[in-house]
Structure 1
Amino acid sequence: MKVSEVMTAQVATAKPTTSVKEVARMMSEIDTGVIPISEDGKVLGVVTDRDIVVRVVASGGSFDAAASEVMSEDVQSCREDDNLADATAKMGAQQVRRLVVLNEAGRLTGILSLGDVAMDYGAKAVGRTLEEISAEPASPT
């Protein structure tokens, strides 16, 4: 099964200059925990609900700050034509719950989340991936 068969293709994006308040409003309106930040079709980062809590709420930051100030820049991605099993393995190895999905040109085409995988790939794969995501990272030797 290919990633494109199960990913969420309707993805709202924001610009780096979009305020954190506006990003949070977008999350609320479309019931998501992640908004990719893009410019000229290229994904620069993502703002997650956790980013807002940790980098704005807990630290007393401003909701008027630009999304680029609070976004996570280390975006994990996969290709839309990747095998779903490989993508879920990557989620586990990188300990992330979502992957940004790109086409061959490197443009955003969707997001693959554990929820997408659960709906179409099965609880067993999600359970295994969630165990890997939640595991303590191996210490360097």
Structure 2
Amino acid sequence: MQTIREVMTPDVQTISPQETIQRAAQMMDDLNVGAIPVCDGERLVGMITDRDIAVRSVAAGQAPDRTCVGDVMSTDVRTCFSDQGVDEVMSTMGDVQIRRVPVIDAASKQLVGIVSLGDIATKSAGSADEALDEISTPSAPDRSPTRH
């Protein structure tokens, strides 16, 4: 069984919930990523994605240089353990329609990396097609509609 440790990206960059979304967007650009784990000290408290910034902040008219990551980040974060099997994590990603999962060390409970569908597709011995199909199915917007 291939484990997440074998396919994950280690030493992932994180951001504090007190940083601005402008800083988060700059980091995403510099790192060429679409999501950054949010940590309060050593503790994972959320994820900030390019979609969070666009939909929850910019579309709502918030100023990027004055809006904190903690105000728009996703807090219901699915995680996995570094010793979990790739197939199990890939199945969960498909079930909940997510493309990236922070990886936690089971012993220390610390963030040790991140695994993306791309990592699994390029580094895994299995196939990511089924998870990609499930993840790519459209879902409802994650904000309430604005009434005019």
Give your verdict on TM over 0.5. yes
After superposition, give the CA deviation of every residue in 1:115-135 in whole Å (9 maximum; x if it has no partner).
10111125x722110112234
Greater helix share, structure number? 1
% same residue: 36
Equivalent in the alignment of 2:112: 109
Report the Cα distance in structure 1 between the residues aligned to 2:35 and 2:97, rounded to whole angstroms. 16
Give runs of aligned pairs for residues 1-141 of structure 1, distance below 5 A: 1-63=2-64, 64-104=66-106, 105-121=108-124, 125-135=127-137
After superposition, give the CA deviation of every residue in 1:16-75 in whole Å (9 maximum; x if it has no partner).
101110011010001000111101211100000000010122111121211000100010
Deviates more, 1:43-52 or 1:97-106: 97-106
State the TM-score, normalizing by the size of structure 1: 0.91
- In the TM superposition, residue 136 of structure 1 has moved relative to its aligned partner by 6.2
Report the Cα distance in structure 1 between the residues aligned to 2:68 and 2:77, rounded to whole angstroms. 18
Deviates more, 1:55-64 or 1:27-36: 55-64
RMSD: 1.4
Q: Gaps (5+ residues) in structure 2?
A: 140-148
State the TM-score, normalizing by the size of structure 2: 0.87
Corresponding residue pairs, total: 136
Find the residue that maps to 2:37 and give its secondary structure: strand
Report the Cα distance in structure 1 between the residues aligned to 2:82 and 2:52, rounded to whole angstroms. 26
Report the Cα distance in structure 2 between the residues aligned to 1:132 and 1:10, rounded to whole angstroms. 28
